């Protein structure tokens, strides 16, 4: 049976890109297998960036949870009946185990997480299940009383993701001032584009570790700290663009005594400071007058409340005793339990992330797909060379199958489609050639000549199957 050609004409590539960049990641992952050109479009880092800007603010955030067995779960809480899905990262398994201790940061769909088994940082994309191990910072301090704080952020100026690490000798926290006794803080920055750490000018603030991770908002990573000159508590913002620290004042209640207990958070796009049963929200970024307090009425039998995220209309998503998600309305002080299918019995909230195609691997360099293509190209090269050497010796009289490299391969397909039942037919080999990008010119001709021989075709297809490419 022959499929009828659809009446719907084929759209130009630019319009297909326009349409595809409005689709959710799940659909796009599936549509990678529609055709070669769709796959390379969807895998393209530039497309990932366009897709992110196009869908940002339109796609709901997802919640990330760490179960008590240290497995990551993702929850889409915006739908009527939320479901918690386990997220596994196949490539982490090569080096370590897929178990996670802590989420250290989240930015543009990427999540920085601490692996439980090898105590290394990994950059993850929970939507595409891609992961990348981040090497240890050579500038980080390793002694027992050293503290390392880190944060993940995106620098739009250099179009680069950066991981910032602050290292200092804790020497214990001074009981009276709450300040760390050692003032020397080393700041190192990891750039995802250059795959390397570099040391920059140190921080003059006294950092203290309430929580080891900084939060990303508006191109800056935020921590709570103290000025070293007058010991006043401030929120420091590390600007990823020009790599300097800025500061602004926290809500009035924050003083040195309570400082180590708190850490800033980003809830619903606002910089927030959850404090016991209050949540301070900075309504206007950078304006200390805009700190607004929301109070949460806690039931007496509840021992622990964590604010997970800010919903619309003054509603908060809370986690109660690390075992139940609760939607709390701060206006009428009502709360209702959120029923999530498949949620682990006990969990820690790791904050939220947005869905994106942005790959921790493919920021700049070549991705896994390209790597596979490269590998296959090398195999092909070796085969062609061997074949050439063989034919030179026997100097066959076979008429060369000459095809202009520029001519569309559809002609060839047409002429060979009769043999499409054969597993190693010429047309299938040609489809492979289309797949392995950058095969062109004389090399393409040589490959075609080699594919004339059914034995070599069979060998090539077998090799491709055996290597499995990915």
Partner 1 sequence: MSSSLEKNMLILRSSDGEEFIVPEVVAVMSKAIKNMVEDECASNTIPVPNVDANILAMVIEFCKKHDESEAEAASDLKTFDSEFVNRGQEALYDLITAANFRDVKELLDALCQNVAEMIKGKSVHHIRIQFLGYQLFEILTSNFIWNIWCDRDFD
Separation of alpha carbons 324 and 299, rounded Å? 14
- Cα 435 from chain centre: 26
Contact between 465 and partner 1 by CB under 8 A: the answer reads yes
DSSP single-letter state for residue 369: H
CA distance 269 to 351: 12
Q: 249 is written with which tokens?
A: 């004042």
Please say whether the beta carbons of 154 and 240 come within 8 A: yes
Note whether 427 binds partner 1 by CB under 8 A: yes
Question: Residue 353 or residue 432: which is nearer to partner 1 going by CB?
Answer: 432
Kindly tell me which residue out of 46, 331, 402, 468 binds partner 1, with binding defined by CB under 8 A: 468
Distance of CA 3 to the CA centre of its chain: 40
Residue selected from 15, 157, 232, 297 as contacting partner 1 according to rule CB under 8 A: 15
Minimal distance, residue 235 CB to partner 1, in Å:
35
Interface residue with partner 1, options 110, 428, 439, 448 (CB under 8 A): 428
Give the residue, chosen from 144, 242, 442, 470, that forms a contact with partner 1 under the rule CB under 8 A: 470
Q: What mask of x and - would describe binding to partner 1 in positions 35 to 54, judged by CB under 8 A? A: xx------------------
Among 43, 128, 348, 356, binds partner 1 (CB under 8 A): 128
Residue bearing tokens 């039931």: 299
Closer residue to partner 1 in complex, CB, 34/257: 34
457-463 CB contacts, 8 Å cutoff, 24+ apart? 457/424, 457/425, 457/426, 457/429, 458/423, 458/424, 459/383, 460/380, 460/383, 460/424, 460/429, 460/432, 461/423, 461/424, 461/428, 461/429, 461/432, 462/424, 463/379, 463/383
Nearer to partner 1, 285 or 435 (CB): 435
- Asked if 10 touches partner 1 (CB under 8 A), the answer is yes
Cα separation, 274 vs 271, whole angstroms: 10
Nearer to partner 1, 51 or 320 (CB): 51
For position 30 contacting partner 1 by CB under 8 A, the verdict is yes
Q: Is 312 among the residues that bind partner 1 (CB under 8 A)? A: no
432 in contact with partner 1 (CB under 8 A):
yes
- What is the smallest separation between the CB atom of 337 and partner 1, expressed in angstroms? 29
CB 164 within 8 A of CB 148: no
79 touches partner 1 by CB under 8 A: no
Question: 6 vs 81, which CB is nearer to partner 1?
Answer: 6
Is residue 331 part of the contact set for partner 1 (CB under 8 A)?
A: no
Phi, psi of 49 (to 5 degrees): -70, -45
Nearer to partner 1, 91 or 391 (CB): 91
304 binds partner 1 (CB under 8 A): no
Nearest CB to partner 1, comparing residues 26 and 304: 26
C-alpha to C-alpha distance for 262 and 257, rounded to whole angstroms: 11
User: Binding of partner 1 at residue 9 (CB under 8 A)?
Assistant: yes
Specify the pairing of strand 324-329 against strand 215-217: unpaired
Structure tokens at 210: 């309430």
Min separation Cβ 312 and partner 1, Å: 16
Name which of residues 137 to 176 contact partner 1 (CB under 8 A).
none
Could you say whether residue 469 binds partner 1 (CB under 8 A)?
yes
Q: Is 302 in the site for partner 1 (CB under 8 A)?
A: no
Q: How far is the C-alpha of 353 from the C-alpha of 65, rounded, in Å? A: 11
> 317: which 2 tokens?
């998503």
8 A C-beta contact, residue 222 and residue 262:
no
Structure-token pair, residue 322: 């690390």
56 binds partner 1 (CB under 8 A): no
- By CB under 8 A, tell whether 8 contacts partner 1: yes
Using CB under 8 A as the binding rule, whether residue 57 contacts partner 1 is answered as no
CB burial string 345-384: b at 16+ within 10 A, e below: eebbbbbbbbbbbbbbbbbeeebebeebbeebbeebeebb
**Residue 294 is encoded by which pair of tokens?**
């929301």
Nearer to partner 1, 79 or 392 (CB): 79
Instruction: Please report whether residue 193 would count as binding partner 1 according to CB under 8 A.
Output: no
Stretch that binds partner 1, among 13-21, 232-240, 251-259, 439-447 (CB under 8 A): 13-21
Pairing of strands 62-67, 347-353: antiparallel
Residues 32, 193, 288, 458: which binds partner 1 (CB under 8 A)?
Answer: 32
Please name the residue that has the structure tokens 């062609």: 384
Residues 81-120 that bind partner 1 (CB under 8 A): 90
Place of tokens 């003059």: 204
Figure out which of the listed residues 13, 33, 400, 415 binds partner 1, where binding follows CB under 8 A. 33
> Smallest gap, in angstroms, from Cβ of residue 320 to partner 1?
32
Walk across the sheet containing 185-191 and list its strands.
146-155, 160-169, 185-191, 196-203
Decide: helix, strand or coil at residue 418.
Answer: helix
Does 392 help bind partner 1 (rule: CB under 8 A)?
A: no
* List of residues contacting partner 1 (CB under 8 A): 1-3, 5-12, 14-15, 18-20, 22-24, 26-27, 29-36, 90, 128-129, 372, 413, 417, 420, 427-428, 431-432, 435, 464-465, 468-470
């Amino acid at each position: 049976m022959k499929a009828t050609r659809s009446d719907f004409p084929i759209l130009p590539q630019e319009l297909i890109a326009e349409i595809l960049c409005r689709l959710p990641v799940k659909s796009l992952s599936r549509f990678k297998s529609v055709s070669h050109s769709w796959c390379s479009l969807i895998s393209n880092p530039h497309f990932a960036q366009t897709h992110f800007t196009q869908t940002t603010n339109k796609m709901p955030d997802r919640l990330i949870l760490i179960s008590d067995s240290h497995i990551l779960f993702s929850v889409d809480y915006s739908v009527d009946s939320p479901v918690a899905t386990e997220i596994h990262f196949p490539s982490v398994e090569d080096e370590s185990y897929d178990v996670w201790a802590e989420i250290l940061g989240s930015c543009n769909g990427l999540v920085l997480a601490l692996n439980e088994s090898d105590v290394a940082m990994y950059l993850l994309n929970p939507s595409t299940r891609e992961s990348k191990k981040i090497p240890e910072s050579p500038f980080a301090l390793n002694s027992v009383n050293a503290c390392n704080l880190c944060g993940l952020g995106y620098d739009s100026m250099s179009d680069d993701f950066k991981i910032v690490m602050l290292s200092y000798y804790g020497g214990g926290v001074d009981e009276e001032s709450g300040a760390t006794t050692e003032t020397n803080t080393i700041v190192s920055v990891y750039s995802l584009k250059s795959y390397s750490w570099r040391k920059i000018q140190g921080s003059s603030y006294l950092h203290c570790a309430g929580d080891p991770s900084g939060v990303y908002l508006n191109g800056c990573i935020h921590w709570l700290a103290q000025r070293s000159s007058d010991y006043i508590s401030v929120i420091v913002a590390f600007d990823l663009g020009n790599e300097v620290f800025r500061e602004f004042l926290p809500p009035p209640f924050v003083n040195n005594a309570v400082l180590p207990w708190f850490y800033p958070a980003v809830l619903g796009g606002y910089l927030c400071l959850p404090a016991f049963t209050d949540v301070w929200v900075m309504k206007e970024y950078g304006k200390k007058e805009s700190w607004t307090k929301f109070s949460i009425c806690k039931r007496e039998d509840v021992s622990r409340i964590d604010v997970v995220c800010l919903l619309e209309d003054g509603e908060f998503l809370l986690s109660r005793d690390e075992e139940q998600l609760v939607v709390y309305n701060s206006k009428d002080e009502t709360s209702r339990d959120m029923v999530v299918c498949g949620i682990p019995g006990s969990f820690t909230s790791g904050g939220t992330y947005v869905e994106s195609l942005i790959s921790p691997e493919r920021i700049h360099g070549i991705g896994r797909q390209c790597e596979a293509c490269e590998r296959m190209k090398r195999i092909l090269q070796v085969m062609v060379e061997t074949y050439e050497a063989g034919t030179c010796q026997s100097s066959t009289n076979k008429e060369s199958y000459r095809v202009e490299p520029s001519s569309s391969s559809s002609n060839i397909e047409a002429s060979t489609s009769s043999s499409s039942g054969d597993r190693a037919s010429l047309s299938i080999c040609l489809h492979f050639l289309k797949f392995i990008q950058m095969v062109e010119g004389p090399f393409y001709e040589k490959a075609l000549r080699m594919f004339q021989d059914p034995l070599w075709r069979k060998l090539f297809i077998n090799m491709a199957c055996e290597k499995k490419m990915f």
